[in-house]
Amino acid sequence: MHDRDAVYIGGEWVAPTTAARTPVENPATGQVIGQVPEVGPADVDRAVAAARAAFGGWSATGRAERAAALAGLRDGLAARRDELAALITAEMGAPARVASGLQVGLPLQVLDGYLSLLAGPDPEPERIGGSLVLREPAGVVGAITPWNYPVHQAVAKIAPALAAGCTVVLKPSELAPLSAFLLTEVIDRAGLPPGVFNLVPGTGPVAGEALAGHPDLDLISFTGSTRGGRRVAAVAAGTVKRVRLELGGKSANVLLPDADHAVAVKVGVANCYLNTGQTCTALSRMLVHTSRYEEAVERAAEYAAGLPVGDPTDPKTRLGPLVSADQRDRVLSLLRAGVAEGARVATGGPDVAGLPEPGHYVAPTVLADVSPDGTLAQEEVFGPVLSVIPYRDEDDAVRIANHTRYGLTGGVWSADPDRALALARRLRTGQVDINGAGFNPLAPFGGYRQSGIGREHGPYGLAEYQEVKSIQLPDGR
């Protein structure tokens, strides 16, 4: 059992003020594998006070000291990579190869990116005419993170906040909090001054709202559902604090007729099913020209049907369970709604027999003839479900791709790089991958419209945790 009795406040593991505990379930077995404290507003108050007390000293440190702390965090995570990956697999069901390669590998890349930004001396202040423009730490940061990438999403907030000179209070998801405790152990050994980082596990309605609405917090950074983001923004508005949100997506992957469909379809299916489809950037709508549509549906169904589903600890497994019974039931409900609206099941579907028991599994599913206005084209499913949608020409593809309330990411495939780039420019999303190009941890990441506010990673991510001050110099000196 992975039981935890203390929370991390002011550089120490301390008893929470509440007796409540949250059980943590292994979604592959349905068994409870541990429990963690469920803090209340008083514990959030203690953590914010500790972060506020530590802010003055930490904000005055130079790049070298901040870089040393991030290097300690990176090295500590690397040293415990296998342990951390196994814990993530146990608490949220990520297949072992995804847990090690992505769930732990990605935050290591992000940390390396911020270390590269901190290399060298502090930059000279910017001069605009007779003014000196400074970038200063934003202050005390509240970070509320989701269950689908529990360590990566935490590091994506902690790393730039610390690099900017901010102090942090982290509230992880109650569905997958165990890895946050291991992350905190690593941070505790990284040499940060007491109070610079604090951990307050708990529920969204209690701990999350107490953090978002706290008057002594300067910035709240939330990753999760669009519904959750709306609530965080509403609560934070009462204190007029800065809010940054990384929310949902319903991203389109446009296959132009000249693309190598054998590669594009396979890579597109794999992208959609990454982390068992529980990924905000999943390219869950595959848009294919009518001349090659049935070919693409057949290829996608054949590839999806061959993906091993089962025990996430088995290295051969490609799709594990969904994180909870509620999440599985939500995905199945959306699938049934899509089929009722006329979607054609090419493989998988909501009623597949023989899936592993007793875990929360959904079969890898490919649906054809999905209406661009339908449920499966508009709602973020967050499971292994790919909708294949035909288009007539490039204008039609762009119209369909942009026809959602989201705008997180997208994909374009073409044998002509210039043609692909021209179409990518027309997609109203925060990022676009051309011909399967990989993730860049120094490039800005975030969304348009209801996919969020602000950016993560690299210099743009660092700027989210900074305030800008102009100093007007006498006589323009």
Which residues are identified as catalytic? 246, 280
Q: CA dist 465 to 59, 370, 383, 454, Å?
A: 12, 41, 32, 10
Q: How many CB atoms are closer than 10 A to CB 333? A: 13
How distant, in Å, are the alpha carbons of 137, 273, 466, 468, 477 from that of 134? 10, 44, 10, 6, 15
Cβ-proximal residues to 108 (8 Å cutoff; 6+ apart), any chain: 74, 77, 78, 81
First-to-last alpha carbon distance for the chain, in angstroms, is 64
Q: How many CA within 13 A on the CB side of residue 197?
A: 25
Q: How far apart are CA 80 and CA 101, in angstroms?
A: 13
224 near 247, Cβ under 8 Å? yes
Neighbours of 444 (CB within 10 A): 17
The answer to whether 96 and 315 have CB atoms below 8 angstroms apart is yes
Q: How many helices and strands in the chain, by DSSP H and E?
A: 16, 20
Task: Measure the CA–CA gap between 170 and 186, rounded to whole angstroms.
Answer: 14
Q: Say if residues 191 and 72 touch (Cβ distance below 8 Å).
A: yes
C-alpha to C-alpha distances, 214 to 14, 43, 54, 311, 464, nearest whole angstrom = 21, 12, 17, 41, 19
Q: Which two tokens stand for residue 24?
A: 């943590």
Q: What is the DSSP letter of 50?
A: H
DSSP string, 137-159: E--EEEEE--SSSHHHHHHHHHH
Contact 257, 278 (CB under 8 A): no
- Residue 343: which of 303, 309, 379, 319 has the closest Cα? 379
Euclidean distance between CA atoms 465 and 189, whole angstroms: 24
Give the 3-state secondary structure of 292-352: HHHHHHHHHHHHHHCCCECCCCCCCCCECCCCCHHHHHHHHHHHHHHHHCCCEEEECCCCC
